[in-house]
């Protein structure tokens, strides 16, 4: 079927012609790997028993129970860390996932009574009962959460002493927590199976699922062993910092209990006490790192295809965009730009003069991104391979040889990204593409995905030398993708210190957000996958990965005009907005199907382009606080439990509600509108939430609602970022009794001057009563002054011409459009605060 290109004779002959030189072969099952851990205590689970000794340490307490050391520490008033170390292992918390190791000392009050120790930070408390050693948490309101199961608590699986790999991995570890009735789980990263995770089993092991993923696949390319638990509007979170094969059983085997386990390593987990969902995400992203600011151009529309085959094809795609004035900022080159799939090379027949081509495209406002895979062709005449081999930069077999497997180029070696020298070398290789004018790097196949057996990954016993601390692949598998992205980002940063790196990755682990944005890999051009992407993107946002997107139009298989158009209606609201499709599938550039589809897609893409100042403001909030860009309704409405089940709608920031159409032929859909007053974007119809409505949504008018009184900043129409100065800035406002606000963030759009105060933050408020609308633009904070001369207020749904309009106390002649019920107020982009007072009836 859709995998036609995999079974092409050429690829088959490569695969069949090669004997892989190492490793245990295994096929990909549902969880992608065999080494599963026994699932019940009958199979050898040993809970930790009595704590015999305890001693205070800096931020907490260290306890000894048999051969286990358990440490509980408060890293912040609402963040605790628990570590279980067996058999005298060192208390080592360093992890590739963790961005912040050093925390200011938190004031902790410890006390003990009735066989129980307690550490209190004021905001939260951890209680540790000593016999047996069990842990539970409490917040200032007395809410108890993340409570150890009394019987099972923390513990491990004693393995039969068989020697070899299993023993090297050490015992599997596990943590059992009570699941109180009514507690609901979310998060878990890139999941296709809907929004809520209660009563599910979750596997964390990066794979490239064969044939494109579907809801039956659990683990995909990226693993984020993190949950957010919600109950009665309050949240807490748990992150298991373990890079081995990890599983969560979330009230699935046992409705009263959840477990969090790893196939080996230390059991280290972090508890985020909330109680707000915002504060859980804030701390989680403080711990694992925040999304760096994007270059502004990267918020535009991206066009990709596997592959634009040569320079002329890329030129003509670029030309079509500009000729039709369809906005586009970025074009992609997939694997065919390379010479025989050798990374960091060009096929000189297809692309005779890359710098010239890219310069030409830059002239027209395009950025060009090229794909890089980790597999390096084993080829004695290929410089990259020779360097890597000479300097020992590749992953090793158990007996010390170079580990080889097949990917696109044929037999390949794989950089050992666990070693800093390898990362630096790999990074330095990016000088060439940057010199050619490439604007960003696309890291693919970095699970890593291998062809022998088809769609497998590295065997457990491949050796990574690291920086003097060798590891088996089984111990670091989930990190390979993140480490490749890290090498790439660090290189772009070092080689172009004044630019914000643009890196896109398919695979990663918790913390990937520091290095790259993520796209969700190979979906299909199916309605089901359009639907699936809606909760999937929300799951990612709830797991710290906020800059995300699914391939618009679907990757595998042929799209069709209605599907592509509906997908675009959703896709333009993805934090990362890219249309991509596979080899030998029908073309799906926005003009592929003619009218009316082209015009509708163009209208949606123009809306995205106009929304960039809003998107950038929301992006900066994410960068600063970890709040998802594309967020579930319950992120803003945690007290309304109806929202917990709303998985086919989302909020972009807090002011736009999007309810995409995801089924063929549908022109109506149910929409749950959360609390507040909202306006239907196309008709201006006012809706009071919370309510269930039937939205009319013909092709070209997807259900989009704007929160009343929140000013939405919009650019004028442009074909790409920087086409001309974005002047004027429009503030779109739908007034309704009440008030709203937005703090507009702007900066130079690239570089790092914003860190020295070269940004602008401007609070804009709107207060509406029955006969008056007052808009205030506060003074700008920060030293950045946008180039534009004017700000326009576009006040919609004003039923009659206003009685009067005052700007800073001066009456002006209103510009009112009867037909559109719209009032326009033109203001100079002045430095000081501006007040606009409109006397108009709004009902
Ligand atoms: O084995 O580079 O997910 O986006 O177009 C397939 C070719 C390799 C998988 C990526 C897809 C990309 C494709 N790649």
Ligand 1 centroid – CA 744 distance (Å) = 37
Cβ–ligand 1 distance for 454 under 6 Å, the answer: no
* pLDDT tens digits for range 679-705: 999 999 999 999 999 999 999 999 999
Please count the other Cβ atoms lying within 10 Å of the Cβ belonging to residue 661.
27
pLDDT value of position 3: 33
Edge-first strand order for the sheet with 822-828 is 712-714, 729-733, 790-795, 822-828, 815-817
Half-sphere exposure of 6 (CA within 13 A, CB side): 15
Tokens standing for 151?
């019987």
Cβ–ligand 1 distance for 735 under 6 Å, the answer: no
- Quick one: DSSP state of residue 586? P
Q: Atom 3, ligand 1: which residue's CA is nearest?
A: 521
Angle, CA of 584, 585 and 587, to the nearest 5°: 115
Task: Please give the average per-residue pLDDT across 134-144, as a whole number.
Answer: 96
pLDDT value of position 836: 87
Cβ–ligand 1 distance for 186 under 6 Å, the answer: no
Q: What is the CA radius of gyration of the chain?
A: 27
Which atom of ligand 1 sits closest to the CA of residue 521? 3
pLDDT value of position 493: 98
Q: Over 80: is that where the pLDDT of 466 sits?
A: yes
Tokens standing for 609?
């382009």
The candidate with the shortest Cα–Cα distance to 588, out of 580, 576, 599, is 580
* 22 or 199, higher pLDDT: 199
pLDDT value of position 11: 39
pLDDT value of position 834: 79
pLDDT value of position 35: 41
DSSP output for 477-522:
GGGHHHHHHHHHHHHHHHHSTTS---EEES-EETTGGGT-EEE---
Which atom of ligand 1 sits closest to the CA of residue 371? 2
How far apart, in whole angstroms, are the C-alpha atoms of residue 477 and residue 208?
13
pLDDT tier at 38 (50, 70, 90 boundaries)? Answer: very low
pLDDT value of position 197: 97
How far apart, in whole angstroms, are the C-alpha atoms of residue 156 and residue 84?
10
Task: Please give the average per-residue pLDDT across 588-609, as a whole number.
Answer: 98
pLDDT tier at 15 (50, 70, 90 boundaries)? Answer: very low
* pLDDT tens digits for range 76-130: 999 999 999 999 999 999 999 999 999 999 999 999 999 999 999 999 999 999 9
The candidate with the shortest Cα–Cα distance to 290, out of 626, 519, 745, is 626
* Cross-strand bridge partners of residue 750: none
Which atom of ligand 1 sits closest to the CA of residue 373? 2
Cβ–ligand 1 distance for 334 under 6 Å, the answer: yes
Q: Atom 8, ligand 1: which residue's CA is nearest?
A: 445
Q: What is the pTM of this model?
A: 0.95
pLDDT value of position 167: 64
Counting ligand 1 atoms within 8 A of each CB, the residue from 522, 525, 580, 581 with the most, and so the one to mutate, is: 522
Q: Which residues are catalytic, by number?
A: 444, 447, 522
pLDDT value of position 165: 58
How far apart, in whole angstroms, are the C-alpha atoms of residue 665 and residue 214?
22
Ligand 1 centroid – CA 205 distance (Å) = 19
* pLDDT tens digits for range 542-582: 999 999 999 999 999 999 999 999 999 999 999 999 999 99
Cβ–ligand 1 distance for 375 under 6 Å, the answer: no
Across the chain, what does the average pLDDT equal? 93
Which atom of ligand 1 sits closest to the CA of residue 583? 5
Q: Over 60: is that where the pLDDT of 26 sits?
A: no
Yes or no: say if 560 and 581 are a contact pair by the CB < 8 Å rule: no
Burial class (CB in 10 A: 0-12, 13-18, 19+), 345: middle
How far apart, in whole angstroms, are the C-alpha atoms of residue 191 and residue 222?
9
Ligand 1 centroid – CA 237 distance (Å) = 34
Residue 279 Cα distances to 148, 188, 322, 641, 744, angstroms: 23, 18, 44, 19, 22
Ligand 1 centroid – CA 651 distance (Å) = 30
Cβ–ligand 1 distance for 78 under 6 Å, the answer: no
Ligand 1 centroid – CA 211 distance (Å) = 12
Ligand 1 centroid – CA 529 distance (Å) = 17
pLDDT tier at 831 (50, 70, 90 boundaries)? Answer: low
Tokens standing for 553?
């139009």
Counting ligand 1 atoms within 8 A of each CB, the residue from 4, 14, 206, 306 with the most, and so the one to mutate, is: 306
Ligand 1 centroid – CA 454 distance (Å) = 14
Tokens standing for 271?
């508890």
Cβ–ligand 1 distance for 521 under 6 Å, the answer: yes
Cβ–ligand 1 distance for 506 under 6 Å, the answer: yes
Ligand 1 centroid – CA 426 distance (Å) = 21
Cβ–ligand 1 distance for 208 under 6 Å, the answer: no
Counting ligand 1 atoms within 8 A of each CB, the residue from 302, 333, 334, 456 with the most, and so the one to mutate, is: 334
* pLDDT tens digits for range 232-284: 999 999 999 999 999 999 999 999 999 999 999 999 999 999 999 999 999 99
How far apart, in whole angstroms, are the C-alpha atoms of residue 381 and residue 375?
16
Q: Over 90: is that where the pLDDT of 386 sits?
A: yes
User: Tokens 């196309």 correspond to what residue?
Assistant: 682
* pLDDT tens digits for range 619-676: 999 999 999 999 999 999 999 999 999 999 999 999 999 999 999 999 999 999 999 9
pLDDT value of position 158: 81
How far apart, in whole angstroms, are the C-alpha atoms of residue 77 and residue 31?
37
Q: Atom 1, ligand 1: which residue's CA is nearest?
A: 445
Cβ–ligand 1 distance for 480 under 6 Å, the answer: no
- Quick one: DSSP state of residue 339? B
Ligand 1 centroid – CA 223 distance (Å) = 19
pLDDT tier at 29 (50, 70, 90 boundaries)? Answer: very low
Cβ–ligand 1 distance for 221 under 6 Å, the answer: no
pLDDT value of position 30: 36
* 112 or 161, higher pLDDT: 112
């Amino acid at each position: 079927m859709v995998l036609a290109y995999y079974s092409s004779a050429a690829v088959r002959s490569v695969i069949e012609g090669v004997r892989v030189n190492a490793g245990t072969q295994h096929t990909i099952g549902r969880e992608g790997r065999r080494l599963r851990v026994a699932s019940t205590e009958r199979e050898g689970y040993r809970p930790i028993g009595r704590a015999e000794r305890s001693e205070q340490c800096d931020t907490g307490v260290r306890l000894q129970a048999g051969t286990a050391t358990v440490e509980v520490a408060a890293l912040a008033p609402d963040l605790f860390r628990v570590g279980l170390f067996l058999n005298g292992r060192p208390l080592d918390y360093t992890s590739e996932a963790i961005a912040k190791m050093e925390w200011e000392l938190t004031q902790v009050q410890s006390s003990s009574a009735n066989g129980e120790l307690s550490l209190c930070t004021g905001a939260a408390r951890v209680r540790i009962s000593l016999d047996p050693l069990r842990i539970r948490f409490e917040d200032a309101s007395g809410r108890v959460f993340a409570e150890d199961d009394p019987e099972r608590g923390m513990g491990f699986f004693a393995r039969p002493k068989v020697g070899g790999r299993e023993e090297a991995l050490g015992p599997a570890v596990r943590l059992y927590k009570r699941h109180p009735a009514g507690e609901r789980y979310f998060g878990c990263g890139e999941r296709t199976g809907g929004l809520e995770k209660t009563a599910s089993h979750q596997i964390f092991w990066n794979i490239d699922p064969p044939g494109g993923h579907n809801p039956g696949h659990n683990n995909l390319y990226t693993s984020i062993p993190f949950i957010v638990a919600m109950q009665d509007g309050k949240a807490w979170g748990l992150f298991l910092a373990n890079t081995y094969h990890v599983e969560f059983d979330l009230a699935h085997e046992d409705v009263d209990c959840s477990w969090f386990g790893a196939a080996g390593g230390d059991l280290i987990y972090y508890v985020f006490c909330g109680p707000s969902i915002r504060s859980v995400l804030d701390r989680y992203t403080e711990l694992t790192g925040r999304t760096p600011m994007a270059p502004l151009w990267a918020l535009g529309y991206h066009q990709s295809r596997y592959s634009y085959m040569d320079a002329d094809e890329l030129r003509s795609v670029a030309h079509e965009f500009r000729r039709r004035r369809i906005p586009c900022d970025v074009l992609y080159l997939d694997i065919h730009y390379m010479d025989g799939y050798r990374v960091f090379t060009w096929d000189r027949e297809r692309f005779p003069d890359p710098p010239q081509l890219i310069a030409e495209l830059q002239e027209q406002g395009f950025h060009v991104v090229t794909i890089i895979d980790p597999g390096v062709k084993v080829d004695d005449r290929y410089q990259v391979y020779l360097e890597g081999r000479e300097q020992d930069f590749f992953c090793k077999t158990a007996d010390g040889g170079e580990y080889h497997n097949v990917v696109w180029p044929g037999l390949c070696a794989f950089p050992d990204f666990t070693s800093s020298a390898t990362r630096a070398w790999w990074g330095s290789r990016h000088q060439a593409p940057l010199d050619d004018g490439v604007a960003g790097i696309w890291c693919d196949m970095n699970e890593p995905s291998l062809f022998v057996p088809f769609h497998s990954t590295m065997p457990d016993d491949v050796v990574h030398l690291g920086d003097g601390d060798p590891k088996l692949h089984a111990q670091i598998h989930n990190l390979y993708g993140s480490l490749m992205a890290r090498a790439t980002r660090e290189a772009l940063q070092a080689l172009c210190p004044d630019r914000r790196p643009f890196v896109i990755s398919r695979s990663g682990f918790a913390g990937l957000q520091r290095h790259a944005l993520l796209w969700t890999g190979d979906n299909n051009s199916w309605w089901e996958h359009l639907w699936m992407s809606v909760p999937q993107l929300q799951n990612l946002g709830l797991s710290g990965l906020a800059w995300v997107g699914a391939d618009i139009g679907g990757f595998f298989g042929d799209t069709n005009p209605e599907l592509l158009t509906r997908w675009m209606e959703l896709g333009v609201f993805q934090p990362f907005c890219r249309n991509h499709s596979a080899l030998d599938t029908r073309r799906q550039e926005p003009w592929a199907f003619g009218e009316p589809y082209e015009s509708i897609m163009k209208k949606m893409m123009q809306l995205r382009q106009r929304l960039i100042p809003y998107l950038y403001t929301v992006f900066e909030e994410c960068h600063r606080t970890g709040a998802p860009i594309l967020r579930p309704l319950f992120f803003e409405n945690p007290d309304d439990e109806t929202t917990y089940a709303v998985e086919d709608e989302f909020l972009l920031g807090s002011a736009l509600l999007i309810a995409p159409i995801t089924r063929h032929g549908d022109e109506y859909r149910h929409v749950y509108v959360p609390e507040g007053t909202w306006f239907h974007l196309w008709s201006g119809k006012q809706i009071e939430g919370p309510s269930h409505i039937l939205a009319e949504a013909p092709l070209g008018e997807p259900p989009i609602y704007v929160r009343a009184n929140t000013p939405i900043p919009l650019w004028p129409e442009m074909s790409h970022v920087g086409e001309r100065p974005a002047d004027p800035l429009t503030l779109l406002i739908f007034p309704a009794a009440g008030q709203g606000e937005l703090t507009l963030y702007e900066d130079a759009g690239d570089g790092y001057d914003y860190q020295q105060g070269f940004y602008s933050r401007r609070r804009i408020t709107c207060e509406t009563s029955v006969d008056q609308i007052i808009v205030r633009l506060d003074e700008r904070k920060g030293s950045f002054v946008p180039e534009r001369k004017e700000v326009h207020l576009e006040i919609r749904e004003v039923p009659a011409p206003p009685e009067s309009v005052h700007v800073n106390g001066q009456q002006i002649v209103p510009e009112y459009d009867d037909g559109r019920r719209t009032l326009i107020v033109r203001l100079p982009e002045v430095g000081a605060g501006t007040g606009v007072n409109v006397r108009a009836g709004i009902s």
